[in-house]
Amino acid sequence: MITRRDATLGLATGLLLADAAPAARADAAPPADTVIALPAPRLDGGMPLYQALKLRHSTRGYDPRAVSHETLSTLLWAAYGINRPATGDRTAPYWRHILVIDIYLAMADGVFLYDPKPHALRRHLTADIRALTGLQDFVATAPLNLVYVAHGERMQDVPLDERRLYASVDAGFIGQNVYLACASEGLGSVFRAAVDTGKLGSALKLPPDQFVTFAQTIGYAKA
Ligand SMILES: Cc1cc2nc3c(=O)[nH]c(=O)nc-3n(C[C@H](O)[C@H](O)[C@H](O)COP(=O)(O)O)c2cc1C
């Protein structure tokens, strides 16, 4: 059986750049080894929960305007950030207390991996692969597509179909957190299964045991 210790994300902390500037521009891609330390999430504000639930909906038309690092910080914390620092536990529940989901961010200036412990973004790819994150046109121009990737190798004692099931449920909880945070921040979002997961997994250069579950677009709704 895989223990939590075995399965804990082994991301090194590394050197964090003091980059709290507004969201990076597409024509100014940061260098390949970039680590962006996100500003502290805003946890004392936000909309009352029931009001956010009232506003939650799916959006399929996006303005290309970037989402600032400040807003991204709060969104990612709400999505799957650490809400109990003593244990490293998260804002979303997860299967058998084993962390299997990573969140990748596909943006105009490349792909980043969210590292919850230092609350930072780690550059994963320099290419703009947004168009590969889904089968709907808006994904190519929306400023941000989250991709929920599962570590199958951390689920070794369950059959393959169950791996996908549990990883999908984990991703779904994160997705709802994102929907509610987007409602609170005045952003649009849509959780998506219409993804060529094989092609996207290849574009992300995932190791053989890791797989894409779902994607979720985020951005300001087109006027
Ligand atoms: C598992 C799942 C997969 C979904 N896949 C897509 C998708 O690929 N594309 C899309 O536009 N919406 C997708 N959606 C969003 C649903 O279509 C949407 O939630 C539903 O129509 C209800 O609309 P609402 O979210 O505005 O309440 C998906 C939702 C879920 C839960």
The 10s digit of each residue's pLDDT in 68-111 is 999 999 999 999 999 999 999 999 999 999 999 999 999 999 99
Instruction: Check if the beta carbon of residue 120 is closer than 8 Å to that of residue 35.
Output: yes
Instruction: Check if the beta carbon of residue 69 is closer than 8 Å to that of residue 105.
Output: no
Place of tokens 């969210």: 114
Can you list the positions of beta strands (E) in 16-100? Answer: 35-37, 82-84, 89-90
Q: Mean pLDDT, to the nearest integer, of 198-202? A: 98
Question: Binning pLDDT at 50, 70 and 90, where does residue 32 land?
Answer: low
CA of 192 to the centre of ligand 1 (A): 6
In this structure, the residue with its CA closest to atom 1 of ligand 1 is 193
Q: Which two tokens stand for residue 177?
A: 């957190």
Q: Quick check: 116 pLDDT over 70?
A: yes
Task: Indicate the burial class of 25 (C-beta count within 10 angstroms; 0-12, 13-18, 19 or more).
Answer: exposed
Q: What is the pTM of this model?
A: 0.89
54 CB under 6 A from ligand 1? no
DSSP H or E stretch at residue 168: helix 160-185
Q: Which residue has the higher pLDDT, 25 or 159?
A: 159
CB proximity list for 92: less than 8 A, separation 6 or greater? 79, 80, 170, 173, 174, 177
Report how far residue 33's alpha carbon sits from residue 40's, in angstroms, rounded to the nearest whole number. Answer: 22
CA of 190 to the centre of ligand 1 (A): 6
Residues in the chain: 223
CA of 52 to the centre of ligand 1 (A): 17
16-20, 56-60, 160-164, range with the lowest pLDDT:
16-20
* Structural domains of the chain, with CATH: 14-21+32-39+47-219 (3.40.109.10)
Average pLDDT for the chain: 88
Residue of 69, 82, 74 lying closest to 9 (CA atoms): 82
Report how far residue 122's alpha carbon sits from residue 80's, in angstroms, rounded to the nearest whole number. Answer: 16
Instruction: Check if the beta carbon of residue 222 is closer than 8 Å to that of residue 63.
Output: yes
Question: Binning pLDDT at 50, 70 and 90, where does residue 33 land?
Answer: confident
12-21, 41-50, 62-71, 81-90, range with the lowest pLDDT:
12-21
Percent of the chain past pLDDT 90, that is, above it, reads: 83
Q: Quick check: 18 pLDDT over 90?
A: no
Q: Mean pLDDT, to the nearest integer, of 6-16? A: 30
